[in-house]
A and B are shown apart, each in its own frame.
Chain A
Amino acid sequence: MNEMLRVDQLQKVFTMHQTGQKRIVGCDHISFSVRKGEFLGITGKSGAGKSTILKCLYRTYLPTGGHIFYASQQFGAIDLASADERKIIVIREKEISYVSQFLNIMPRVTALEFVMESLLELGETVSSAKKKAEEMLDHFIIPEMLWDTFPRTFSGGEKLRLNLARAMVRQSKLLLLDEPTASLDQASKETVRERINELKQNGTTMIGIFHDLDFMDSVVDHNYKLESGVLKEV
């Protein structure tokens, strides 16, 4: 039907060669599905494996078992767990965005360019990308005087908001959010909620990890809990 993503028995086991081939289970037997336009929220204790699941979906981690069926616009039904790297690169460019729990290394481009890049990758013109990027920076309350500076000197909250602006300036098919409100004040959280609702209205499917349960309840359609390695809807 309208299934956007179906995760089937996802497993990620890390083998640490530096410490005597130690095996660490990131997640195992994880199954769930998300329909187009839905928001699925995940909670769970620290170390439960929430980020691991998200990173497998984005293929920063290469799954060691299971499938991640995704309805790609470019390629049709595709298993992200085993898809060719080149296809993953295109899907990241065009369809799936990801905001990591810990900030990516900051690029050596200005904040405005950083947000614009996200739209230029989709083929937007420079002038339209600039306009939308400015609106988004404004929406996430990033002071205008910072727009043409390099983000490496930004505060923690500013960096997070900038990453959110980059991921949310576009209408992604699938948006993965790992603790998107972790270090934000109430006013900033409000701007995130507004943008999430806009994206949802326009059909973006989302999966988010939250510690802030009140915030999560106010945006998600389904609430999942990862407990003792088992992911269940609550």
Chain B
Amino acid sequence: MSDLTDRPILNVRDLNKRFGRGCVHCRKPEDLPGLSNRCPYCGSVWACIHVSFDLYEGEILGIVGESGSGKSTLVRSLYFDAPVTSGTGEIASFKEGKANIFTESAQQKRYIKNYLMGMVYQNPWLGLKMDFSSGGNIAEKLIAAGNFNVHQIRQRASKLLDHVEIPLTRMDEKPVHFSGGMQQRVQISKALANNPSILLLDEVTTGLDLSVQARVLDLIRRIQRESHTAMIVVSHDLGVIRMLSDRTIVMKQGRFVESGLTDQILEDPHHPYTQLLVQSLL
């Protein structure tokens, strides 16, 4: 339940991420000629430009935008998969929200990932060890979060898999043999293993057939209702965002072009790009 006396559990200010080494024409995103975020001289890409936002407890924040707009880069930066070029991020439950998570030591970043965050990757091969059993994948996350009692780990793993409707008889199987929807569900249960306060979901339904998509979306809603985990849901599909998120941010070429209440973004879009996006949905 939203409580306004709460500070945001995550706040990000002026996050910038450049891929490529840069040249005199693209040292800063402002230096780029034209509107593109790709430097025509050296090919570097500013995948996130001056990105700032707050995430509050219990809310689902949607991020929508076309392919290449920087959505995955944003959530993967938050999960420390690649270092940011500049910017600050503060998590209320980490050092009382007074530390910039992006400049913390590798050990502290590991702590944040293992104890405070969960991530579901666009590609299950990034999120799962395909040659471990499903139970083993979850156990790995539990051990990383400081659980060492083998019996308890197995119990918790079976509970998590049950929660995402993976039959317990398949707990010892490797996810490589699972369908795409099952792999996503194993990823979700792994991401939830440490009861994260922040869950990052990157295109969690793409590549799944429609009936499976619906079940995964139902599952996410159920998790949100039951645990009030704050989530960032990334999708290029406004339909997914409409179903899940309270507030939505629209991204284009590395920049946030518009943000608002999800129904307002859908029914009263202001930015030309958002109007185009919404039109294509209806």
Contacts and interface: CB of A to CB of B under 8 A. Distances in A.
B276 interface: yes
A61 interface: yes
A105 B1 CA distance: 22
Interface string A67-98: 00000001000000000011111100100000
A55 interface: yes
B35 interface: no
A187 interface: no
Contacts of A85: 247, 260-261
Interface of B: 1-2, 4, 56, 59, 214, 217-218, 221, 242-243, 246-247, 260-261, 263-264, 267-268, 270-272, 275-276, 279
Nearest to A88: B261
B218 A86 contact: no
B54 to A, nearest CB: 9
A18 interface: yes
Contact of B2 (A59, A90, A105): A90
B246 A89 contact: yes
Contact of B261 (A14, A60, A105, A109): A60
A62 B264 contact: yes
Interface of A: 14-18, 55, 59-62, 74, 85-90, 93, 105, 108-109, 121, 123
Contact of A105 (B4, B242, B246, B271): B242
Given A60-B267, A87-B4, A88-B261, 12 more contacts: A18-B276, A59-B261, A61-B267, A61-B268, A74-B4, A86-B2, A89-B2, A89-B247, A90-B2, A105-B242, A108-B214, A108-B221
B170 to A, nearest CB: 25
5 contacts: A15-B270, A17-B272, A108-B214, A108-B217, A109-B221
Contacts of A87: 4
Contact of A59 (B56, B217, B264): B264
Contacts of B243: 105, 108
A146 B1 CA distance: 29
Contacts of A17: 271-272, 275-276
Nearest to A108: B218
B214 A93 contact: no
User: Quick one: which of B4, B217, B276 has the most chain A CB within 10 A?
Assistant: B4
Nearest to B278: A18
A169 B103 CA distance: 50
A232 B186 CA distance: 59
Nearest to A21: B272
A14 B279 CA distance: 15
A93 B2 contact: yes
Nearest to B263: A60
Contacts of B276: 17-18
B275 A16 contact: yes
A123 B3 CA distance: 13
A109 B261 CA distance: 22
A55 B264 CA distance: 9
Contacts of B267: 55, 60-61
A67 B59 CA distance: 27
Contacts of A121: 1
